[in-house]
Structure formats: C-alpha cells, structure tokens
C-alpha cells in the first residue's frame, strides 16, 4: 500500500508540472501575439512612406524623428487634438465613474419604491446602441446650439449603464451594508459616508471602469465627428482619420503610424497609474479570502 502511494505522488507531481508548463507556454504565446502588433506599429513608425509601400520588415528604420516632426508640424494640429481628447476622455471617465458609483450605491444601500424597476430600466438602456439614438441626439445638440462644444461629449458619458452594472455587482460582494449602518450610527452624513468609506472600498472596480471609460472615450470617433466641426476642437481620432483620407499627393503613411503611436501613450500612462489600485484590490481580496 505504501509503495503504491509513493509511486502515485511523483506521478501526480509530474502531472501538475506538465499542466503548469502548458499553461505558462500558452500565456506566453498569447502575450507575445498581443505585443507583436505593438511592435509592428513601432517598427512602421520608424519607416518612411516609400519604405512602407515595399512591405513589412522586422528591423526598424531611421525615419522616426522625421515622421514625428512631420506630424507635429503638419497641416493637422495633432498636439491640440491630443489635448482635446485628454479633456474629453478625462472628464468623461472621471465624472462617469463617480456618478455611476453613486447610482450603484443608491440602488445597493437604499430601499425605496420602484427600485427594481429603475435597475431593470438602466439595464434596458444598456442594450440600446449609440448609433440608434445618434440622429435624435444630434438634433438636440443643434437645437441647444452646442455644436463645436465638449459638453455634449462629456455630459451623456455621465450616464454609463455598463459602468453602473459592473460597480453594482462589485458592491454586492465587497460592500457590506453593516459598514454603512455603522457609519450612520456614528453620525456620518450620506455624502461623507459615500466619499470617505464607499469610494475607497471600491477603488479596484473604479480603476478598472475608469480605464475602460477613458479608452472608450479616447478612441471614440463617431460622436465627436458629428458635433465637432472646427479644426482646433477636433479630437485625435478625427485628425488621424483626416490624415488617412488625404489625397494621394499629401498622403504619408509614416505620419499616420507616428500619429497612432502618439495616441497610444496617454492610454498606457493612464493604465499604469490606475493599475496599482487593481493590484492592491486583488491583494486585499486574497488576504480576506
């Protein structure tokens, strides 16, 4: 009996090592596959338009600074567009996440008539594509004389049903109502309880949704293209699209790749800033478990 157990344990340990090796190999392959396209983008950023027409190469070229110079001094105000995108995406992500957390907290912590209906209605709104309401939204913007303004891009982003739903589900498992009741007994007001207790507990979920909201607004082309007509107010995706749609004599693929590379760095910076809150939340969750 002991001999069988001794033979079984090494076999079991070997099977675990094999499965772990396969899992790591798959993860490494998928990681390299995802990063490969960033590598292609960076390589193409260093190449001139004439070199890009010859096909792909794994080795970088020497036109990086020339492409960046052409982008920054070209006909399209790329830096201004990047600033516009930062303003719109930053306000949309910040306000959207804050008020979505507040809405989720109200649904989670309070009991009132029509609570289930409101929750269901928000989920129904989540199923409506943006393109369906675009015509009515544009008509409203023109009626309010808000064309060429960032307000129609930021204010609707505050009502984010997807963000609300994710935060509501996170609250179900990570925000005990006993903690809220204890704060009320200690004399804490509702806004103070929300800002001082609820928001810190929700940091991991808020960080995740802030990243998603920022990237979604940063890459949004459809709505800004309907509203923003002045060149100095256009966001970065619109300006990049204009570079790509230039006529044959003005078209420069090197500038297009350089502008796309510039557009990625703010997203990476936002992720690096917010990712530490995600890691901290995972670590706290594992300690609690």
Q: Which sign, positive or negative, has the C-alpha torsion 220, 102, 268, 65?
A: positive
Chain position carrying tokens 């970088």: 60
Q: What share of the chain is helix, strand, coil (3-state, %, to 5)?
A: 80, 0, 20
Q: Are 80 and 259 in contact (CB under 8 A)?
A: no
pLDDT per residue of the chain (289 residues) written in tens, 0 to 9? 455 555 555 566 767 778 888 989 999 999 999 888 888 888 988 888 888 888 778 888 888 888 888 888 877 888 898 999 999 999 999 999 999 999 999 898 888 888 888 888 888 888 888 778 888 888 888 898 888 899 999 998 888 888 998 889 888 888 888 888 888 888 888 888 888 888 888 888 888 889 889 989 998 888 898 899 888 899 999 988 888 776 666 677 888 888 888 888 888 888 888 877 766 554 444 434 4
- CA end-to-end distance (rounded Å), the chain: 37
Q: Are 249 and 201 in contact (CB under 8 A)?
A: no
Chain position carrying tokens 């675990």: 16
Phi/psi for 202 (5° steps) reads -95, 10
Residues 19, 12: Cα–Cα separation, whole Å: 11
Q: Are 274 and 206 in contact (CB under 8 A)?
A: no
Is the pTM here over 0.75, yes or no?
yes
Q: Are 240 and 259 in contact (CB under 8 A)?
A: yes
Q: Are 227 and 152 in contact (CB under 8 A)?
A: yes
Superfamily of domain 67-288: MetI-like (1.10.3720.10)
């Amino acid at each position: 009996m002991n001999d069988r157990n001794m033979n079984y344990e090494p076999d079991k340990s070997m099977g675990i090592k094999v499965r772990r090796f396969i899992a790591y190999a798959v993860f490494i392959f998928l990681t390299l596959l995802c990063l490969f396209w960033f590598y292609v983008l960076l390589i193409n950023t260093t190449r001139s338009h004439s070199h890009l027409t010859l096909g792909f190469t794994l080795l970088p070229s020497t036109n990086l600074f020339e492409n960046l110079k052409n982008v920054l001094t070209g006909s399209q105000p790329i830096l201004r567009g990047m600033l516009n995108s930062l303003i719109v995406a930053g306000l949309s992500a910040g306000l959207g996440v804050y008020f979505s957390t507040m809405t989720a907290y109200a649904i989670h912590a309070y009991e009132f008539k029509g609570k289930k209906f409101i929750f269901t209605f928000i989920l129904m709104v989540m199923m409506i594509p943006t393109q369906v309401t675009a015509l009515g939204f544009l008509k409203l913007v023109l009626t309010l004389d808000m064309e060429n303004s960032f307000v129609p891009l930021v204010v609707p982003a505050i009502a984010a049903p997807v963000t609300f739903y994710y935060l509501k589900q996170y609250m179900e498992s990570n925000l005990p109502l006993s903690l809220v009741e204890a704060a009320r007994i200690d004399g804490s007001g509702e806004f103070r309880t929300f800002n001082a207790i609820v928001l810190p507990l929700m940091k991991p979920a808020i960080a995740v949704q802030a990243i998603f909201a920022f990237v979604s607004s940063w890459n949004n082309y459809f709505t800004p293209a309907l509203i923003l007509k002045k060149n100095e107010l256009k966001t970065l995706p619109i300006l990049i699209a204009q570079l790509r749609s230039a006529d044959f004599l003005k078209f420069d693929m090197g500038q297009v790749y350089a502008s796309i590379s510039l557009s990625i760095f703010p997203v990476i910076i936002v992720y690096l800033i917010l990712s530490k809150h995600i890691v901290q939340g995972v670590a706290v969750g594992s300690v609690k478990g």
